[in-house]
């Protein structure tokens, strides 16, 4: 399946820089008034230069009115699933349903262990993430009932979680490798990779792995939203996300129609880049995608592969 038919959405990925607290919150406010859909923050509690992401998200929630909020992605090894479920539900109630949840299996294990978290192998971290999704969903659906869960990594015995969230928060998983892609298809509401760690020609196979796992779990592939943390800069280049807003719009529209990616999150530190993304790129992509879908014509062929999307580096969206 090339195009899953999801609404095209846009948001920002803001560094939670403790030395720039005013600028960080102001960028989130600007995203809200500019009509963007999402504001997200990376979650690395062991990074001494970063604010605690959940505290920051709560402040931003109070300073905004319509934009949806998420950790990108929550550091599960340092955030117990039941407490994370309660935090999400509480903020969701306080914002009238504006909170979603990005999750990763974990990375930077030395730093996690230094903060008191468990050090897990890649395989065991995927198992722990799978269990955590079960616990979080059970907590949100408990409706006053006690819940129990007997997993290898998480045990819950007669807990009474609550309050329930205002809406059903989506769970987005940062995934790259086969087991994480399979978990995404089986249990997640969204797939949240980062552009910097992918090549264009890898997307169809990764989507196919998610789709197959969804079908094996009795789900439809289109139940899994496809999101992406972008990497790029406005300029005069001819590569992917290296040109002006019109070029960005054409490239992101094509990406949506040929690979099904539909939620684009731009790392921003500049108000000008945020405005350009919100006011010039986003409306053009929405219009082009709707026009193409409404025409009944097949989507344009993808550009010749491979087209690399940046130099690979260690993911900030932890996954396996």
Where are the domains positioned within the chain?
Answer: 9-295
Q: How far apart are CA 204 and CA 39, in angstroms?
A: 27
The two tokens of residue 250 are: 């054409």
pLDDT in tens, 138-157: 999 999 999 999 999 999 99
Specify the CATH class of 9-295 in words: alpha beta
Distance CA 67, CA 52 (A): 20
HEC string for 129-161: HHHHHHHHHHHHHCCCCCEEEECCCCEEEEECC
For position 75, what pLDDT does the model report? Answer: 95
Residue (of 196, 195, 192, 197) closest to 174 by Cα position: 192
DSSP H or E stretch at residue 209: helix 203-216
Supply the pLDDT for residue 129.
Answer: 98
With left for phi above 0 and alpha for psi between -120 and 50, is residue 160 left, alpha or beta?
Answer: beta
CB proximity list for 17: less than 8 A, separation 6 or greater: 23, 24, 49, 50, 51
The CA distance from 99 to 191, in Å, is 16
Instruction: For tokens 């950790």, name the residue.
Output: 71
User: How many Å apart are CA 161 and CA 143, to the nearest integer?
Assistant: 8
- Residue in the structure block whose two tokens are 């500049």: 270
Residue pLDDT tens, the chain, 320 long = 689 999 999 999 999 999 999 999 999 999 999 999 999 999 999 999 999 999 999 999 999 999 999 999 999 999 999 999 999 999 999 999 999 999 999 889 999 999 999 999 999 999 999 999 999 999 999 999 999 999 999 999 999 999 999 999 999 999 999 999 999 999 999 999 999 988 888 999 999 999 999 999 999 999 999 999 999 999 999 999 999 999 999 999 999 999 999 999 999 999 999 999 999 999 999 999 999 999 866 555 544 333 333 333 333 334 43
């Amino acid at each position: 399946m090339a195009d899953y038919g999801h609404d095209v959405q846009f948001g920002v990925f803001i560094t939670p820089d403790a030395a720039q607290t005013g600028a960080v919150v102001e960028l989130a406010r600007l995203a809200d008034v500019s009509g963007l859909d999402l504001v997200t923050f990376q979650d690395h509690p062991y990074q001494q230069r970063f604010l605690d992401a959940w505290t920051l998200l709560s402040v931003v929630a109070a300073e905004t009115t319509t934009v949806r909020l998420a950790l990108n992605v929550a550091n599960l090894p340092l955030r117990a699933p039941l407490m994370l479920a309660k935090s999400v539900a509480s903020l969701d109630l306080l914002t009238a349903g504006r909170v979603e949840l990005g999750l990763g299996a974990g990375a930077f294990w030395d730093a996690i262990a230094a903060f008191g978290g468990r050090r897990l192998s890649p395989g065991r971290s995927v198992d722990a993430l799978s269990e955590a999704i079960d616990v979080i969903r059970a907590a949100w659906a408990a409706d006053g009932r006690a819940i129990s869960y007997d997993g290898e990594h998480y045990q819950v015995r007669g807990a009474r979680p609550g309050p329930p969230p205002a809406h059903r928060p989506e769970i987005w998983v940062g995934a790259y490798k086969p087991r994480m892609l399979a978990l995404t298809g089986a249990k997640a509401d969204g797939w949240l990779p980062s552009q910097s760690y992918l090549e264009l020609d890898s997307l169809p196979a990764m989507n196919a792995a998610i789709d197959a796992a969804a079908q094996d779990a009795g789900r439809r592939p289109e139940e899994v939203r496809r999101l992406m943390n972008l990497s790029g800069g406005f300029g005069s280049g001819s590569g992917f996300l290296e040109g002006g807003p019109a070029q960005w719009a054409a490239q992101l529209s094509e990406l949506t129609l040929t690979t099904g990616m539909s939620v684009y999150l731009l790392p921003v530190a500049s108000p000008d880049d945020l405005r350009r993304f919100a006011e010039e790129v986003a409306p053009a992509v929405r219009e082009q995608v709707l026009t193409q879908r409404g025409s009944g014509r097949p989507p344009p062929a993808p550009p010749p592969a491979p087209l690399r999307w940046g130099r690979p580096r260690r993911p900030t969206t932890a996954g396996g």
